[in-house]
């Protein structure tokens, strides 16, 4: 009697299994596994966010300290060119598009000569909206009162006159140190 060989069957089973598993690769994406499981990705933020409002504060003639106050410390300062500051900003956040911005500030001596933003900078609200990964609709509270709201506020309490007698007795405390 001749022994049955399982080699062709094992080879065929291996090929079928490989083909099935290869088809599962189409269910995977960079952000999920089988369309259900999403692995945690570390949020990476580097540099200074420079918005349109900050850039509006910058004008030629400002000192280095004034530029640093408005934009923060630069991410890169060139050791061979002390008159150039580079502000580089990158963010990679899960669920949001990665962002990269470069702003170059040039000085002439101790005063600002120019600022190159490399294009249009986003406003503060636009930037926050671009990195907001919550899918719910949220409304931001109003930050400025209208004229009617200001008039509806209660009047502030008046401070007592400086020459008026105190309403409570003055407290006498013992000395802190023995003489």
Domain assignment of residue 32, yes or no: no
Inside any domain, residue 55: yes
pLDDT on residue 28: 47
The pairs formed by 63-72 with CB atoms below 8 angstroms and a separation of 24 or more are: 63/110, 63/111, 63/112, 64/107, 64/110, 64/112, 66/112, 67/105, 67/112, 71/103, 71/105, 72/48
Q: Is residue 57 included in any domain, yes or no?
A: yes
Which CATH number does the domain housing residue 82 bear? Answer: 3.30.1450
pLDDT tens-digit readout, 85-96: 999 999 888 878
pTM for this prediction: 0.54
Q: Is the dihedral of CA 73, 76, 78, 81 positive or negative?
A: negative
Give which of 106, 99, 118, 120 is closest to 47, Cα–Cα: 99
Structural domain tally of the chain? 1
Distance CA 116, CA 112 (A): 12
Average pLDDT over the chain reads: 81
Q: Which of 116, 8, 22 is nearest to 60 (CA)?
A: 116
Percent of residues, the chain, with pLDDT higher than 90: 34
Task: Note the pLDDT tens digit of each residue in 120-164.
Answer: 999 988 888 888 877 555 666 777 888 999 999 998 888 766 666
Domain that includes residue 52, residue range: 38-130
Q: Residue 151: inside a domain, yes or no?
A: no
Assess contact for 75 and 48: CB atoms under 8 A.
yes
Inside any domain, residue 64 = yes
Please tell me the distance from the alpha carbon of residue 57 to that of residue 35, in angstroms, as a whole number.
46
Other beta carbons less than 10 A from residue 128's beta carbon: 13
**Residue 143 in domain:** no
11 in a structural domain: no
Note whether residue 108 is domain-resident: yes
């Amino acid at each position: 009697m001749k022994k049955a060989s399982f080699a062709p069957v094992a080879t065929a089973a291996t090929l079928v299994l490989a083909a099935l598993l290869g088809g599962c690769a189409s269910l995977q994406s960079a952000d999920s596994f089988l369309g259900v499981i999403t692995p945690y990705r570390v949020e990476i933020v580097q540099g200074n966010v420079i918005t349109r409002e900050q850039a509006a504060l910058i004008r030629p003639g400002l000192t280095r300290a004034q530029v640093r106050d408005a934009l923060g410390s630069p991410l890169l300062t060139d050791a061979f060119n002390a008159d150039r500051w580079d502000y580089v900003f990158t963010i990679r956040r899960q669920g949001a598009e990665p962002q990269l911005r470069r702003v170059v500030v040039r000085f002439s001596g101790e005063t600002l000569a120019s600022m190159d933003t490399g294009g249009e900078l986003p406003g503060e609200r636009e930037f926050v909206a671009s990195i907001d990964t919550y899918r719910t609709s949220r409304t931001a509270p109003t930050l400025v009162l209208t004229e009617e709201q200001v008039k509806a506020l209660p009047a502030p309490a008046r401070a007592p006159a400086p020459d008026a007698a105190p309403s409570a007795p003055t407290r006498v405390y013992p000395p802190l140190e023995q003489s």
